[in-house]
Amino acid sequence: MSSYQLLFSVTVEHMYFTDRVCKSLEFIPTRATAHLFKRSGLLSKLSDNRLSVFFEDDKLDILHLYAQEDFAFSFRVFSKDSNFSLYTLPAPEIKPSND
């Protein structure tokens, strides 16, 4: 049985909450990211306001092959709280970089 290691994590804080933890967020991978997860054996886990992505120890060589390519992880983030817009300002527009 394989063991998993943390590849990266993203924590989202919200100033509305005293502990800054917004538990209503949902991270949905784009189709391309979901396909990359499946091909490379990555797993994601959502815990309160943190998205964590893990890789299998025995698939590290596959992950190295993908790391040599130009790829990115993309997620759509939604709130399950219907009142979210009442205590949240719209996000600023983010322009993609041409790096």
Residue 74 and residue 81 in contact, taking contact as beta carbons nearer than 8 Å? no
**d(C-alpha 77, C-alpha 88), whole Å:** 14
Q: What is the pTM of this model?
A: 0.75
In tens digits, the chain (99 residues) has pLDDT values of 579 999 899 998 898 889 999 888 999 999 999 998 888 888 999 988 899 999 888 877 777 666 667 778 899 989 998 988 888 887 777 777 665
Residue 4 sits at φ, ψ, to 5 deg, of -115, 145
Residue 52 tokens read as 């964590």
